[in-house]
């Protein structure tokens, strides 16, 4: 798992590449902590378009981040391509909890308008 992050205007963007599984989840967790602490409230875009697989451990990291962000009145948007992760969110009913977008541009615009 490779995680790149950067700050743009009103949000922090994390771009993930590779599997978000038991091996990759700690890498994401390590990148999330400073990203969540960097803004008040945190507005986070997590780009998962290059993540082909996510297991329960990876999903747990995303849910934990969402809970934290909601506790401090922030927003988190997942950028999803069609495929496994979108399906995983649907079958676990987490699609009702996560805000999603089909593109990074759309997600940034949504958070920029919320600032």
- Domains of the chain, with CATH numbers? 2-34+41-114 (3.30.750.24)
10 Å CB burial of residue 111 (0-12, 13-18, 19+) is buried
* CB-based contact 77:42 (threshold 8 Å): no
- pLDDT, residue 115, reads 42
Q: Is the pTM of the predicted complex or chain greater than 0.75? A: yes
Q: How far apart are CA 64 and CA 37, in angstroms?
A: 14
For the chain, which ranges sit under pLDDT 50? 114-115
* pLDDT, tens only, 23-40: 999 999 999 988 888 778
Which strands sit side by side in the sheet containing 11-17, from one edge to the other? 2-8, 11-17, 43-50, 75-79, 99-101
């Amino acid at each position: 798992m490779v995680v790149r992050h950067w700050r743009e205007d009103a949000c922090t963007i994390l771009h993930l590449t590779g599997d978000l599984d038991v091996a990759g989840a700690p890498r994401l967790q390590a990148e999330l902590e400073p990203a969540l602490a960097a803004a008040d409230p945190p507005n986070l875009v997590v780009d998962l378009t290059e993540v082909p697989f996510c297991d329960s451990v990876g999903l747990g990291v995303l849910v934990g981040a969402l809970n934290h962000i909601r506790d401090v009145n922030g927003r988190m948007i997942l950028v999803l391509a069609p495929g496994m992760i979108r399906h995983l969110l649907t079958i676990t009913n987490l699609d009702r909890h996560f805000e999603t977008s089909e593109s990074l541009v759309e997600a940034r615009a949504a958070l920029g308008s919320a600032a």
